[in-house]
Structure formats: structure tokens, C-alpha cells
Structure 1
Amino acid sequence: MRIALFVTCLNDTMFPDTGKAVVRLLRRLGHEVEFPAAQTCCGQMHFNTGYRKQVTPMVRSFAETFAPYDAVVTPSASCAAMVRDWHPRIDSGAAPVASNVYELAEFLVDVLGVTDVGAYYPHRVTYHPTCHSLRMLKIGDRPLQLLRAVRGLELVELPDATECCGFGGTFALKNSEVSAAMGADKVACVRATGAEALCAADNSCLMHIGGILTRTGPDVRTVHLAEILASTEEDPHE
């Protein structure tokens, strides 16, 4: 199986270690992963802010770049949802490639059929199901299955887990007061768990929640699912 990493703009720019973790994890499981250098944005930011005509070339470029691969794996439920749900509607020619795009957890569980990836992360962790993973991709408990199999990890339930954290891309800018209030509610729930780390499938949400956590008291660190799953005793993620 030829697997490509779709790292996404946010991860490439601000959280490159997450992309590296995906590659490290999949290679540890015996798979070769390539990084197509021609990849660019999936077009979600443009599409959500009304520049729909300008998105079409981006959709076509995505399809052309990832067409040679059997599977495209991304550490972003948000971008995976954009590609799978909207790319075929924008350009029907993008449908075959879009159907081969997977968020990391669903790829591991549904395609590779694994839940125990040999990870080790000896910390108390709570999991936030991001809106796109929950409502568009409907990945359900796949991340939880993976986290439960991590040695040393204590998984604690997050109160009101299905509530949005308030980020929502440009929503956080256009509706900053509402966004901040939603984020504060989410942070209160995170702190109530006593967790050392908050995990999610989207660094955009972790960035929003993490900013509030940092400003409001004793640190609860944020960590992407990929980084936990890539962590081992020999090569731990702190």
C-alpha cells in the first residue's frame, strides 16, 4: 500500500512534530509513507469564508497530487472532512482521491485493523472529540480505542465532551467573545478531570484550548493523538 501524508497547512507551519509523529508511527507498523512535496492547502479556509470559486483549482491540485497513492492519511479531522465531504461536490473529478483520504484514527482502526500500536505514554489523559471528527467524519470511539491500548496511559472521561471548544477557524475572530466563553467552559471541564494532558485529533482546537489553559493557571499540556501513539519507552513523547 502506498501511503501519503497530507500534513495540512496548520501542522506544517506550526505543529510539524505532529506530521513527523504520523510518519514515525506508520513506519513502526511496517508501512512506507511518502510526503508529496506538491501538496498545498485543502481549501477549507477559503471555502468557509466565501471564496468558493477560488477553491476549485486547489481541489484539482489536491486530487492530482495524491492520485498515485492508495491511501492519504492526515492528522486533522477538520481537513479530512473538507476533502471527503466537499471536494467531490466542488469538482466531481476529485471524488476517487477524496474517498481515499483518512483521518489517522480511522485509518489505523478501519483500514489497518489495529488498536494496539505499541505506544507507551505514562500520563493521565483526557480526550476532546473535535467537531469535525464527531459530526462530519463520525469517527466515534476509534481514538478512544487507540488510547485505551496505550501502555501506562490513564484515560479519564471529559465532561461535556461533545460541546464545541469555540475555535471554529474564523468563528474565533468574528465572534471572539462567544469563542472565548466556549473555550473557558471547555477548559473548566478539562481541569475537572485532573488530567495532565488533553488529547485531540485536531491541532487547531488544541491550540485554542491550550492558549486558554496556559493563561489561566497550572499547565495542562495539549498533545495530538498522533504524538501519543508514536510515543514509546525507547522514544518517549514528553
Structure 2
Amino acid sequence: MTAQPSFDAALHPPRVGLFCTCLVDTIRPSVGFAAAKLLEEAGCEVDVPAQTCCGQPAFNSGDRATSRALAEQVIAAFENFDYVVAPSGSCAGMIKTHYPELFTGEPDWSARVDRFCAKVFELVSFLVDVRGVTHVDAAYAGTVTYHDSCSGLRELGVKGQPRRLLASVAGLSVAEMNDADTCCGFGGTFCVKYPDVSNAIVEKKAANIAATGADTLLAGDLGCLMNMAGKLQREGHAIKVRHVAEVLAGMGEDPALGMPAAAEAKR
């Protein structure tokens, strides 16, 4: 894979294409706004081009033709940016790790795809590892516990970065859960294909979350958060669920995931 893009930061700020993801666009737009805020505060020029799915659901279902077509659309939409950043380890992992597989043995595409994938990052990893952010100007009153989503952790090495930034949030403390790096049972299409197995996995995860005594659960992937929030709420746990970007951007006062404003006020 080629090296990261090079440019003179003194002449212009890095141009970042924000890949919002399907779930953020349709379920939790506030995560996209939080991501844009964090990137701008890190000195980036942010744009959100017209975009579609990264192709992961099709890829995981064995539909390589559809996944390949979507990958071509994503590359065309984002390849002129200095960086491509997604508030999702799952989508960023799909692009960075699996796009090259879709173009194997095609010389006309391979170099282009490698150049593109080299500048794709998960949001918090980009802030810490590329932009060198060590502190955020945000506050959150409460104790949080953090779930390490599978793709971000195993494909992109995202683990210490969110915890490093959370340590700078005023009023916030972190209570680590047991098996924080164990799957929550979502797995995209996995939870649809194997609901009984998925439920057994998230049941254990919910128990570990509740055992921390934390009032808030954070993670970097909305799919995982939706899965865990649903289980926690069905079991009657009064635990708020948020994307880590929302807290880091100082947007932790908005209603938590799956919770109307009136219900949030009571907790």
C-alpha cells in the first residue's frame, strides 16, 4: 500500500472528505455533525460529497458484484480529498482492508485503489494518529464505559485513541468493562442470519456493561451501539448510549440513542 498523502499544511489545511455512513445518515445524523466539528477543530477543511453505502453488507453476503460497484462509486466521490474519514471502524475497515480484494489482478485499478485506501481512516484514529490531537474542549458529567468494536479494533488498531481523548473530557470518568474487546453480537448481517447466537452474545455484553455501574455506554460504531442500546433498554437498564464522537465534540446533552428527550430528562 502506498504512503499517506503529502502536502504542505502551511499552504492549506488538509481537505477531508467525511464518509458519513448509511446508519449515521438515516439513524443518528448528530454523529456526522459531531465528526465534522471535531475535524474542523483539528484544523481540517471538511466536505461531505454525495455518497452511497461502502458496500460492506453486500460484501459480507457474498455479493461481490454489488460491493464492487459501490466501491467504484465511493472511490470516484472521495479520491480527490487529502484524507477520507469515517465515524465508523466498520465502514473504514471495509474500505481500507477489503477494497483491494475487490480489484485483485486488475493493474488499471490496483494502484488507484491502493492510493485511495492509504488515506482512509476511522475518525478518532485520524484525530490522534494523523492530526496529533491530545485534548478536546468538552465536558460530560458522568461515568462511561467503552466498547471496542470488532472492525475498528482488529482491522484498524483502534483502542487506545478513544480512551486517550476521553481522558481529557472534563467531568468524565471511565469504568472499563470485562471483555470490552469482545463482539457485541451485531456483525451487520450476522445478527439477521443468526439471531439466536447474536442475542446470546449481546446478552453477555449487556451484563458486562451493567456491572461497571457506568451511566453511559460509548463506542465508535453506530451498528454496535444500536444493538447494545436495544438490549439494554429491553432489559430495563437506565444506561444512556452514545457515539464517542458526540461526547468528544461536546454534544453529550442531546437525547441518547433510542431515547426521546422527555425520557432522557428523567434519567
Q: Is the TM value for this pair above 0.5?
A: yes
Match of 1:62 in 2: 74
Alpha-carbon distance in 1 for matches of 2:163, 2:190: 28
1:145-182 residue CA offsets vs partner (Å, 9 max, x unmatched): 11111111111111111211111111111111111111
Runs of at least 4 residues off by over 4 Å: 235-238
* Percent identical residues: 44
Equivalent residues of 2:42, 2:133 under 8 A apart: no
1:92-127 residue CA offsets vs partner (Å, 9 max, x unmatched): 232211111110111011111012121211111000
Equivalent residues of 1:11, 1:18 under 8 A apart: yes
Alpha-carbon distance in 2 for matches of 1:11, 1:88: 25
Alpha-carbon distance in 1 for matches of 2:44, 2:136: 13
Match of 2:198 in 1: 179
Match of 2:40 in 1: 27
What SS does the aligned partner of 2:137 have?
coil
Larger radius of gyration: 2
TM-aligned CA deviation for residue 236 of structure 1? 4.5
Q: Unaligned 5+ residue runs, structure 2?
A: 1-13, 104-109, 256-267
Match of 1:48 in 2: 60
TM-aligned CA deviation for residue 27 of structure 1? 2.1
1:88-237 equivalences under 5 Å are 88-91=100-103, 92=110, 93-231=112-250, 236-237=253-254
TM-aligned CA deviation for residue 15 of structure 1? 1.1
What RMSD, in angstroms, separates the aligned Cα atoms of the two structures?
1.4
Match of 1:13 in 2: 26
Q: Unaligned 5+ residue runs, structure 1?
A: none
Alpha-carbon distance in 1 for matches of 2:133, 2:37: 16
What letter is aligned with 1:32?
A: E
